[in-house]
Amino acid sequence: MFYKVISAVISGIEAVMVNVEIDTSQGLPVFDMTGSLATEVKEARERVKIAAKNTGYIIMPGRITVNISPANVRKAGTLLDLPIAIGVLGTMGFVNHDMVRDTLIVGELSLDGAVNRVEGILPIVCMARQADIKRVIIPRDNAVEASYIEGIELIPVKSLKEAVEYLTGRCSIHYPHRQYKAKEYIHSEDEIIGQEPAKRASVIAAAGRHNILYIGPPGVGKSMLAKVIPAIMPPLTLEESIELSKVYSVRGLIDEKEGLVRTRPFRTPHSKITPVSFLGGGKYPVPGEVSLASFGILFMDEIPLFDNQILTALRIPLEERKVSVNRLNSTHTFPANFMLAAAMNPCACGYYPDRSRCTCSRKDISRYYGRLDKPLLDRIDISVEVPNIPIDMLREKRKTYSLEDMRDMVSNAAKRQSHRYKDEDIYSNSELNNTLISKYCHMSPTAKELLDTVFEKMSLSVRAYNKIIKVARSIADIEDCDVISEEHIAEAVGYRISEAV
């Protein structure tokens, strides 16, 4: 008897629909599986037989053939256990074939018949909805994660027995959809004392999602300034949350109680991280830190200490906002739409230009800065010095920029950008290309003249030239200005101190 069940597998961060085809016939007891299967998929034969037995369903001896098509798609993971079990039981008359039409089934089986949580349920449910599948049978522990996707019926089950009873009409299962509500990023640090220029730069960076580099001696607040950024950025939208949560779902990092990632991520990879962990990859490629930081912050503390291979590879996601992992028979593309916040000391010992404490020679300092090559620095929109705080300011704890002030300025600028780019496929000023710069970055005559002069005297690259315009656009948005003025250009140029490195 032939039986077919719709299921899915994960390829990169996308779901691919597959058909689990089962045929049973008389003959010697054999359980064959075909279809370009990884080892863990082939092991499903034992999990299915024992789970069925312990659930009370007897699989009669005979020849069982399972084919998972299309054959040119590599199948990995344990999420095909449940559809295989339903298919095998269906060929033996336990489940009518009409009951699984327009139904996608995924889940891992325990030997006692329990259905375990699987990774990647969010992209699977999104794909099923796009394919006009009416319902999905998923593990009960994945229900919260899937409940934010409307337009498809969710059937979360705890066991193989419950799945069979639902499909035979002996029980009814309904799981309600949830309304999305973003959460604020909780900033636990104390208010930063002083450092007003660096705070101003952080506000501009957050407003336009510009990459920023903090340069200063140890202990002056570079890390604290970076941690402020996600707290002053607008909350994640539902669209951003779903796209980000797909990445976390594939990595198995979704909080079961939360269901979606609802706060902007702040990822802090160690300087000794491997290129695969940073960019993504592996035998069956999974997203790395640059993807986990999408729609949030990737903070690289002491960036010159990172491996040169990582610093070189960082250029591509900074420019293209995605990263590709090539394998022999496939290429996987992961999102990398993050904002880079980096920090570094002014020299290897950290105290230049204080010669009473700095022991670095001029050659040592040049070598230290040389770790960040020109192409990488060119992709950093804002560089700002973070000096030591005078003792009188530290004692008086004087502040001008409060966290609330910074959040309000960023929020207002974000609203302007949201309205301006509502018909474009971008979120922020940092994503403007050459065509959109001409369309949306209108400058006064004096601003154009100043920018042309700076371009000639500083021998800027075209990329640096455009980044000055985009940063100036963000400064103008903070100040509620439609036209970029000479003052906006001058401030944006001041953040290109990397040109002198």
Asked if residue 328 has pLDDT above 70, the reply is: no
The burial of 106, by beta-carbon neighbours within 10 Å (0-12 exposed, 13-18 middle, 19 or more buried), is given as: buried
The burial of 112, by beta-carbon neighbours within 10 Å (0-12 exposed, 13-18 middle, 19 or more buried), is given as: exposed
Asked if residue 189 has pLDDT above 60, the reply is: no
Half-sphere exposure of residue 440, counting CA atoms within 13 Å on the CB side?
28
Owner of token pair 């370009």? 36
Structure tokens at 71: 């054959």
Sign of the dihedral through C-alpha 225, 227, 232, 234: positive
Strand duo 286-287 + 30-34: pairing:
unpaired
The burial of 387, by beta-carbon neighbours within 10 Å (0-12 exposed, 13-18 middle, 19 or more buried), is given as: middle
Structure tokens at 444: 């006064």
pLDDT at 405: 87
In this predicted structure, which of 128-137, 317-326, 347-356 has the lowest mean pLDDT? Answer: 347-356
Name the DSSP letter for residue 334.
Answer: E
Spatial distance between the Cα atoms of 192 and 232, rounded to a whole number of angstroms: 14
In terms of DSSP H, where are the helices of 147-296? 160-167, 196-208, 222-232, 238-250, 275-279, 289-292
Asked if residue 499 has pLDDT above 50, the reply is: no
DSSP bridge pairs for 109: 115
Compute CA 224 distance to the chain's CA centroid, rounded to the nearest angstrom: 22
DSSP bridge pairs for 139: 157
**CATH 3.40.640.10 holds for 196-399:** no
pLDDT at 501: 44
Do you know the residue count of the chain?
501
Asked if the bond preceding 176 is cis, omega within 30° of 0, the reply is no
Structure tokens at 409: 């300025």
pLDDT at 461: 87
Spatial distance between the Cα atoms of 485 and 208, rounded to a whole number of angstroms: 17
Residue 449 sits at φ, ψ, to 5 deg, of: -65, -45
CATH, domain range 2-167: 3.30.230.10
Name the DSSP letter for residue 249.
Answer: H
65, 26 Cβ separation under 8 angstroms: no
113, 164 Cβ separation under 8 angstroms: no
The residues spanned by each domain of the chain are 2-167, 196-399
pLDDT at 332: 86
Asked if residue 448 has pLDDT above 80, the reply is: yes
Q: Tell me the mean pLDDT in the region 122-127.
A: 96
pLDDT at 304: 93
Asked if residue 392 has pLDDT above 90, the reply is: no
Q: Is 163 helix (H, G, I), strand (E, B) or coil?
A: helix
In this predicted structure, which of 7-11, 18-22, 346-350, 452-456 has the lowest mean pLDDT? Answer: 346-350
Structure tokens at 418: 């949201």
Considering all CA atoms of the chain, what is the largest pairwise distance in Å, rounded to the nearest integer? 90
* Contact partners, residue 386, CB within 8 Å, separation at least 6: 195, 198, 214, 215, 216, 220, 221, 222, 225
124, 77 Cβ separation under 8 angstroms: no
Spatial distance between the Cα atoms of 357 and 360, rounded to a whole number of angstroms: 9
Name the DSSP letter for residue 331.
Answer: E
Q: Tell me the mean pLDDT in the region 398-423.
A: 87
pLDDT at 336: 94
